[in-house]
C-alpha cells in the first residue's frame, strides 16, 4: 500500500526534527553544559558527536583511540555520553572499587523489547529483583549439581552431532554452523528435555535458529533511537517492530512448552515421577516463591530467553575460534589429541567426567577467550549516580564500556600477545575466570559478571574435546585459514570455518 503522506512532507518533517535537535544541542553545549572534568576524547560533529566516525569493527577502533587519548576517553553518541576504559587499573575502579555504582546496565530499546521489558538477568537494574534472578541462576539453575543432573540431555545432542559428522567423513563441513546447531540443541534440550521429541524437535530447533539469528543481528545493529531518544517514537529503522515480531514468536514457543510441561508434571505426579530439565526446575521454584521477591512466569520466560539467546552464540563462536587456531597450529593439535588419547583412549568416547583431567585443553579454552573474548566490550555498564574515576567525572546514566579485548592483547601485560599460545595458561593457579585479575577477565567481573560460567566451561570443553578426539581435521585443498574477527554484540569469526573430518576412533560403533 502506498503511503498516504507525500514524500516531500516526510522529508520536511525529518529536516524540521533535525533542525530542532541541532538548535537544542548548540544551546546545551554552549550555555548549559555542566562544568565537569570529562575524560579527553576525539572531536565530534554538532548533534551527531562521534557517531558518524565509528568504525564497524568497534573493538579494534576503540583500542586505537585509547593509544591517542589514554586508558579512559569520552565519546559523544548523539545526545548520549559514552566512556571507554582500556586498562586493568581503570577496569578495576569500575568493576571492583565502585562495583555497586556501576552495577546497572544500559539496555538498548530493541533489547528491552526482546527481554520482557528488561526483566531478564542481563538487563535488569541492580536491586532485589536482579539479586533474586542471580541467585536462581548461579546457585540453583546453573549450579554444578543441577548441571550434573541434566548431563544426559547434553550428551544426547553431542552424540547426534558426532554421528552426523561421521556421515560427512571426507566431505567439507561448515564447522561453525554445526557447532551453533549443536550448542543450540544442547541448550534447548536442557531447557525442556523430553517435552518435544522426534520430528517436532527438528521443527522447533529450526524456528529457534531463525529467531535467535534475527534477534542477535538486530541487537548488533546501531539504533538511532538509542542515541536520540526523542526520535524513538518514530522507530525510523523499524528495529523495534522487527524484534517484537521475533520476540513474540519466541514467546509462543515458551508458552507452548510451559503448558506442555505443566500438563506432563500433573501426569508425572500421579505416577510418582519427576522430570529433570531447566523448565521443570524453574516452574518448581516459581511455586515455592519468596513472597518478597517472587519468581513470576515473566521471569521464567525471560531466563529461558537469556539461556537461548545468550548461551548459543557465545559458546558456539568461542568453540569455532578454538578449532580454527588448533587447525592453524599443528603443535597445538598434536598436544590436544595426545592428551585426549592418554586420558580417554581411542576405544572410548569423551565424557564430561574426563574434562577435569585435561589441563592442556582447558589452557586452549583460556587462550581462545584471551584473544577472542565472547563480549569484547562486555555488557555496557551505567553509573547510578555521577561519580569520579581516574580523576574524571563520569555522569549518571552514561554508557560505560570496558574494552576487555584490548586489555587481553596489551603488550605491556602479555608476551607475544597476538600469538596463540595455550602454554601461557598451564599454571592453573595464575589465571582463572573469577574476575579478580583485571589483566584477564573474559567473563567480566564484580556483581554483574557472567552467571553462566560453569555451563559455558562445560559446553566448550566437552564439545571441543569430542570434536578433536573423534576426528582428525584438515582444510580443503588450496584453502587458507584465517582467524579474523567480525564485531557484533557477540564476537564472531569473519569467515566460517570449513574443514574435512576423518575418523580417529578404533571402533566404528563409537560413532553410532
Find out whether 396 and 385 touch, Cβ atoms under 8 Å.
Answer: yes
**Across the strands, what pairs with 104?**
382
**Residues 311, 318 contacting (CB under 8 angstroms):** no
Q: Is the pLDDT of residue 393 over 60?
A: yes
Q: Is pLDDT above 80 for 61? A: yes
- pLDDT tens for each residue of 248-292: 999 998 998 899 888 887 777 666 666 678 888 898 888 886 777
Q: Are 485 and 493 in contact (CB under 8 A)?
A: yes
**78 contacts: CB under 8 Å, gap ≥ 6:** 47, 48, 49, 51, 224, 226, 227, 228
95-107: pLDDT as tens digits: 999 999 999 998 9
Other C-beta atoms lying within 10 Å of the C-beta of residue 426: 13
Task: Choose among 504, 509, 508: nearest CA to 471.
Answer: 504
**Residues in a beta bridge with 76:** 81
CB 499 within 8 A of CB 474: yes
Dist. CA 74–CA 503, nearest whole Å: 53
- Opening angle at CA 121, ends 129 and 307, nearest 5: 140
Helices (H), 70-143: 88-92, 109-114, 128-135
297-302-307 Cα angle (round to 5): 125
Residue 226, pLDDT above cutoff 60 = yes
Paired with 72 in beta bridges are 85
Q: Are strands 485-486 and 173-174 parallel, antiparallel or unpaired?
A: unpaired
Strand partners, 499: 173
d(CA 490, CA 165): 26
Distance CA 381, CA 378 (A): 9
Q: What CA–CA distance (Å, rounded) separates 352 from 457?
A: 11
Nearest Cα to Cα of residue 40 among 75, 80, 12, 8: 75
Which whole number is the average pLDDT over 171-176? Answer: 94
- The pLDDT value recorded for residue 8 is 55
Lowest mean pLDDT among 69-78, 242-251, 304-313, 457-466: 304-313
> Taking residues 295-319, what's their average pLDDT?
91
Look at residue 140 in the predicted model and tell me its pLDDT: 83
pTM over 0.75: yes
The 10s digit of each residue's pLDDT in 327-354 is 999 999 999 999 999 999 999 999 999 9
Helix (H) or strand (E) holding 26: helix 7-27
Identify the pLDDT of residue 199: 66
Q: What are phi and psi of 444, to 5 degrees?
A: 85, -165
Q: Check whether 484 has a pLDDT greater than 50.
A: yes
Burial of 463 (0-12, 13-18, 19+ CB in 10 A): buried
Across 88-102, 108-122, 310-324, 467-481, which has the greatest mean pLDDT? 88-102
Could you give the CA distance from residue 137 to residue 282 in angstroms, rounded to a whole number?
10
Q: What does the pLDDT read at residue 4?
A: 47
By residue count, the chain amounts to: 512
Yes or no: say if 509 and 503 are a contact pair by the CB < 8 Å rule: no
Where helices occur in 144-197 by DSSP H, the ranges are: 144-149, 151-167, 175-192
235 φ/ψ sector (left φ>0, alpha ψ -120 to 50, else beta): left
pLDDT band at 10 (very low <50, low <70, confident <90, very high): very low
CB proximity list for 196: less than 8 A, separation 6 or greater: 204, 257, 260
Q: What is the pLDDT of residues 413-448, one digit of tens each?
A: 999 999 999 999 998 677 899 999 999 999 999 999
Residues making up the binding site for heme: 450
- 3-class state of residue 498 by DSSP: strand
DSSP 200: H
Q: Which residues are annotated as a binding site?
A: 450
DSSP letter (8 states) at residue 121? T
Which pLDDT band holds residue 374 (cuts at 50, 70, 90)?
Answer: very high
Mean pLDDT of the chain: 89
Residues 6+ apart with CB under 8 A from 44: 50, 51, 53, 75, 76
Quick check: 18 pLDDT over 80? no
C-beta of residue 494 within 8 angstroms of C-beta of residue 317:
no
Least confident window among 1-5, 146-150, 219-223, 359-363: 1-5
Q: Is it the case that residue 310 has pLDDT exceeding 70?
A: yes
The pLDDT value given to residue 32: 44
Q: Out of 3.40.50.12280, 3.60.20.10, 1.10.10.60, 1.10.630.10, which CATH number does the structure's domain 34-511 have?
A: 1.10.630.10
Cβ atoms of residues 493 and 324 within 8 Å:
yes
Statement: residue 2 has pLDDT above 70: no
Per-residue model confidence (pLDDT) at position 124 = 94
**Antiparallel, parallel or unpaired: β 80-85 and 399-402:** parallel
Question: How does 239-278 read in b/e, with b if 16+ C-beta sit within 10 Å?
Answer: bbebbeebbeebeebbeebbeebeebbeeeeeeeeeeebb
pLDDT of residue 379: 94
Residue 22 pLDDT class (50, 70, 90 cuts)? low
The residues spanned by each domain of the chain are 1-33, 34-511
**CA–CA separation, 418 vs 428, rounded Å?**
21
* Closest C-alpha among 278, 300, 306 to residue 194: 278
What is the mean predicted confidence (pLDDT) over 180-199?
Answer: 80
- In order of 6, 8, 10, 234, 322, the CA distances from 3 in angstroms are 7, 12, 10, 15, 50
Amino acid at each position: 500500500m502506498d503511503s498516504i503522506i507525500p514524500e516531500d512532507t516526510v522529508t520536511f518533517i525529518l529536516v524540521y526534527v533535525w533542525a530542532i535537535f541541532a538548535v537544542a544541542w548548540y544551546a546545551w553545549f554552549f550555555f548549559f553544559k555542566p562544568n565537569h572534568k570529562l575524560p579527553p576524547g576525539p572531536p565530534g560533529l554538532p548533534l551527531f558527536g562521534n557517531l558518524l566516525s565509528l568504525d564497524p569493527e568497534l573493538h579494534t577502533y576503540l583500542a586505537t583511540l585509547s593509544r591517542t587519548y589514554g586508558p579512559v576517553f569520552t565519546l559523544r553518541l548523539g545526545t548520549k555520553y559514552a566512556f571507554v576504559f582500556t586498562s586493568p587499573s581503570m577496569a578495576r575502579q569500575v568493576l571492583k572499587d565502585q562495583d555497586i555504582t556501576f552495577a546497572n546496565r544500559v539496555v538498548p530499546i530493541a533489547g528491552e523489547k526482546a527481554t520482557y521489558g528488561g526483566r531478564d538477568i542481563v538487563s535488569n537494574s541492580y536491586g532485589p529483583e536482579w539479586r533474586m534472578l542471580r541467585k536462581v541462576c548461579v546457585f540453583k539453575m546453573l549450579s554444578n549439581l543441577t548441571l550434573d543432573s541434566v548431563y544426559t540431555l547434553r550428551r544426547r545432542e553431542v552424540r547426534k552431532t558426532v554421528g552426523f559428522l561421521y556421515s560427512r567423513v571426507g566431505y567439507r563441513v561448515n564447522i561453525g554452523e554445526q557447532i551453533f546447531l549443536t550448542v543450540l540443541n544442547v541448550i534447548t534440550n536442557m531447557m525442556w528435555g523430553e517435552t518435544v521429541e522426534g520430528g517436532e524437535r527438528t521443527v522447533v530447533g529450526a524456528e529457534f535458529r531463525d529467531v535467535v539469528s534475527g534477534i542477535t543481528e538486530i541487537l548488533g545493529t546501531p539504533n538511532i533511537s538509542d542515541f536520540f531518544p526523542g526520535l524513538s517514537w518514530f522507530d525510523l529503522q523499524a528495529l523495534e517492530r522487527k524484534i517484537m515480531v521475533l520476540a513474540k514468536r519466541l514467546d509462543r514457543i515458551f508458552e507452548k512448552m510451559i503448558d506442555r510441561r505443566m500438563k506432563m508434571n500433573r501426569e508425572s505426579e500421579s505416577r510418582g515421577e519427576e522430570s529433570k530439565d531447566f523448565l521443570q526446575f524453574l516452574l518448581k521454584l516459581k511455586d515455592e516463591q519468596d513472597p518478597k521477591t517472587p519468581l513470576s512466569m515473566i521471569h521464567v520466560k525471560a531466563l529461558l530467553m537469556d539461556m537461548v539467546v545468550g548461551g548459543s552464540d557465545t559458546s558456539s563462536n568461542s568453540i569455532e575460534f578454538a578449532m580454527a587456531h588448533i587447525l592453524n597450529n599443528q603443535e597445538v593439535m598434536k598436544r590436544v589429541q595426545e592428551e585426549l588419547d592418554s586420558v580417554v583412549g581411542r576405544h572410548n568416547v569423551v565424557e564430561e567426567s574426563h574434562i577435569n583431567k585435561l589441563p592442556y585443553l582447558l589452557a586452549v579454552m583460556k587462550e581462545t577467550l584471551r584473544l577472542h573474548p565472547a563480549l569484547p566490550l562486555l555488557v555496557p555498564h551505567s553509573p547510578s549516580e555521577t561519580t569520579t574515576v581516574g580523576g574524571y567525572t563520569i555522569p549518571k546514566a552514561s554508557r560505560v564500556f570496558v574494552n576487555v579485548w584490548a586489555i587481553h592483547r596489551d603488550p605491556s601485560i602479555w608476551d607475544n600477545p597476538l600469538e596463540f599460545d595455550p602454554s601461557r595458561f598451564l599454571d592453573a593457579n595464575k589465571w582463572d575466570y573469577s574476575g579478580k585479575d583485571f589483566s584477564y577477565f573474559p567473563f567480566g567481573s564484580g556483581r554483574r559478571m557472567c552467571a553462566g560460567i560453569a555451563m559455558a566451561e562445560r559446553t566448550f570443553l566437552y564439545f571441543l574435546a569430542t570434536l578433536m578426539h573423534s576426528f582428525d581435521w584438515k582444510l580443503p585443498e588450496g584453502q587458507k585459514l584465517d582467524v579474523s574477527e567480525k564485531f557484533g554484540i557477540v564476537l564472531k569469526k569473519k569467515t566460517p570455518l570449513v574443514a574435512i573430518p576423518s575418523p580417529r576412533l578404533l571402533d566404528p560403533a563409537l560413532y553410532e
